[in-house]
Amino acid sequence: MRILTRKGKITEFKSAAVVVPYFEDVKELQGTVKLLDEETGGMIKDIIATGDFKGTLNQVSVLYTRGLIPAKRIVLAGVGKKSDLTMEKLRCVFATAAKHVRSLTLKEFSTSLDFIESKESIEHTVQAVVEGAVLGLYQYTNYKTVDKDKKGDPKEFTIVEEREDVCEIIRSAAESVEIVTKAVFFARDMVSAPGNEMTPTAMAGEARKIAARKNVKLRVLDERKLRKIGMNALLGVAKGSAEPARFIILEYSGDVKAERPVALVGKGLTFDSGGISIKPAEKMEEMKSDMAGGAAVMGAIMAAADLRLPVNIVGLIPATENLPGGRAYKPGDILRSLSGKTIEIISTDAEGRLILADALTYAERFKPVAIIDLATLTGACVIALGDLAIGMLGTDKELKNKLRDAAEKTGERVWELPLWEDYHELIKSDVADFKNTGGRPGGAITAAAFLSKFIGKSPWVHLDIAGPAWLTKDRSYIPKGATGIGVRLLVQFLKDWQKKD
Ligand code: BES
Ligand code: MN
Ligand code: ZN
């Protein structure tokens, strides 16, 4: 869907549908709503008077304008109380409205954002409105050949604005949202893709598409190279599968002066059966999404490069399957990781932390200013936070605060869990340096404690995205299935990275 900005009056704009945000607590109509009401002979006042439309959050009503104005329909979109307005609510409202427009099979729709009072908030409002409309319309239909139920998407969404200077702000904000939403779709598509297609090799192929951009370099380490450098934790997990592992290194240089990069590490487990410690069959198909961290890192780098953000980034994605083959690693095995530290395997299903251990060790080679890893790491995190928040653990206060700020702005919320010393006791092994599980209690925390053993001096934060990476029910601007979580969070974090606080 293309996002257009047009200078003019919404009451004079020809469109199949004009979406009009409506606050539930307005006493007297104002601005666009008032104008549209007057031009249509009081249609809006009428529907309010009947009580059929109140303006509560996400309520939608369609009015047919019968030639009174050039726009055929007015789509009233309830936003709730004006004093409670948040960007997150706007995202939801515009997603709901856009999906309604799609259900009417309209090819195009428009809106006016004159309810924004301050100029500073225009950029954020456009971001929320466009993100909501675009992200909400996502459908994954790559493998549908019969009964394609993909409804024809609207092709254009126009923001109509009278003020010339505001038009400019809207234009540039919309352009950057288009870049970011494209990256979110890229990540969602990768995560939605089936395991037989989205193999470690295929992930490296997707990385190659990103590396077609200026200032992005790609290196892919194959198994021979991985053996040579000693990435035995990653190789250990890969042993049970006939699909060869890959280690993907994407480097974006957007800032020539600052040499040290931000390191983003993403779990790229293209299918997690649990291995010899095999998972129950029920819902096992969802484990194709176990590379969502890797997809988020790739999406973020793609967006950063397209936005030409002034920051250097290195993205590291250990990619493999976890299967119970004849050569599969087993409980009781001991792996010698890239760091030299030894790991006793208690469960082959705690594989994410193993491949991340090697990736984190490797990340330190870049002397990064920060390391952020994203992983669908533990079921325990899903139990703790559900699918509404990312579990955040780490060693650096400032980095955590920056991620919290980015989370607040994007609605990709993070919630901190503690990483106290006491938890580290639980992953001590009798025979090796560490064991790969610490038991069920505090599972998200002991997993992070394990990861911390492979961090050197760099400020580090771990984001457990196991919950929000995959939804089993539609949410306004996130259709069920792959969410692309982490892309918007990371991009916002990278945008704000150099800003002084
Ligand atoms: N990929 C899973 C975690 C997961 C579970 C992600 C549910 C999304 C939804 C991870 O590899 C795993 O299996 N973790 C185990 C660890 C345990 C054996 C210590 C878990 O959480 O059960
Ligand atoms: Mn697992
Ligand atoms: Zn896993």
User: Three-class SS string for 254-315?
Assistant: CCCCCCCCEEEEECEEEEECCCCCCCCCCCHHHHHHCCHHHHHHHHHHHHHHHCCCCCEEEE
Residue 501 has pLDDT above 70, yes or no: no
Q: Output the pLDDT for position 121.
A: 85
pLDDT of residue 278: 98
Q: Annotated catalytic, 367?
A: no
Cα–Cα distance, 9 to 6 (Å, whole number):
9
Q: How many C-beta neighbours within 10 Å does residue 367 have? A: 13
Residues in the chain: 501
In this prediction, residues 118-135 reach a mean pLDDT of 90
Percent of the chain with pLDDT over 90: 93
Q: Roughly what angle, to the nearest 10 degrees, separates helices 120-136 and 164-192?
A: 40
pLDDT digits (tens, 9 = 90+) for 444-490: 999 999 999 999 999 999 999 999 999 999 999 999 999 999 999 99
CA distance 279 to 323: 10
For 186-500, CATH number out of 2.40.30.20, 3.30.70.3420, 3.40.630.30, 3.40.630.10 equals 3.40.630.10
Strand partners, 266: 374
Please answer whether residues 391 and 417 qualify as being in contact, where contact means their C-beta atoms are separated by less than 8 angstroms.
Answer: yes
Residue 500 has pLDDT above 70, yes or no: no
CATH number for the domain whose boundaries are 2-160: 3.40.220.10
**Residues 420, 461: Cα–Cα separation, whole Å:** 14
39 pocket-lining for ligand 1 (C-beta < 6 Å)? no
* Confidence tier at 258 by pLDDT (50, 70, 90): confident
Helix (H, G, I), strand (E, B), or coil: what is residue 58? coil
User: Which tens digit of pLDDT belongs to each residue from 374-407?
Assistant: 999 999 999 999 999 999 999 999 999 999 999 9
DSSP classification of residue 331: T
- pLDDT, residue 115, reads 76
* Neighbour-count burial for 464-495, b at 16+ CB within 10 Å, e otherwise: bbbbbbbbeeeebbbbebbbbbbbbbbbbbbb
Query: What pLDDT shows up at residue 151?
Result: 63
Nearest CA to ligand 1 atom 17: 350
How is residue 262 written in tokens? 């931000």
Q: Which ligand is nearest to the CA of 436?
A: 1
Of 288, 353, 402, 488, which is the active-site residue? Answer: 353
End-to-end CA distance of the chain: 36
Express each pLDDT in 207-228 by its tens digit. Answer: 999 999 999 999 999 999 999 9
Ion ligand 3 residue ranges (Cβ < 5 Å): 269, 272, 290, 352
Report pTM: 0.97
In the three-class reduction of DSSP (H, G, I as helix; E, B as strand; rest coil), residue 183 is classed as helix
Ligand 1 contact via 324 beta carbon (within 6 Å):
no
Residue in 283, 322, 351, 378 to alter for ligand 1 test, most ligand atoms within 8 A of Cβ? 378
- CA–CA distance, 279 with 287 (Å, rounded to integer): 10
Query: How does strand 312-322 pair with strand 262-266?
Result: parallel
Domain with CATH 3.40.630.10 in the chain: 186-500
Residues 77-95 have a mean pLDDT of: 95
What pLDDT digit, counting tens, does each position of 308-354 carry? 999 999 999 999 999 999 999 999 999 999 999 999 999 999 999 99
Q: Return the pLDDT at 358.
A: 99
Sign of CA dihedral 173, 175, 177, 180: negative
Ligand 3 centroid distance, CA of 102 (Å): 36
Is it the case that residue 421 has pLDDT exceeding 90?
Answer: yes
pLDDT in tens, 135-190: 999 999 999 988 665 668 999 999 999 999 999 999 999 999 999 999 999 999 99
Average pLDDT value for the chain: 96
Reported as a single tens digit per residue, the pLDDT across 100-124 is 999 999 999 999 998 777 666 899 9
Q: What is the pLDDT of residue 119?
A: 67
pLDDT attached to residue 148: 64
> Do 423 and 500 contact (CB within 8 A), yes or no?
no
Helix/strand/coil (H/E/C) assignment for every residue in 443-499: HHHHHHHHHHCCCCCCCEEEEECCCCCEECCCECCECCEECCCCHHHHHHHHHHCCC
Where in the chain are all domains bearing CATH 3.40.220.10?
2-160
Contact indicator for 56, 77 with CB cutoff of 8 Å? no
Query: Which among 494, 285, 307, 346 is positioned nearest to 410, based on CA atoms?
Result: 494
Report the alpha-carbon distance of residue 427 to residue 85 in Å, rounded: 45
Looking at per-residue pLDDT, the higher value among 355 and 30 belongs to 355
Assess whether 208 carries a catalytic annotation: no
Cα–Cα dist 232/359, whole Å: 11
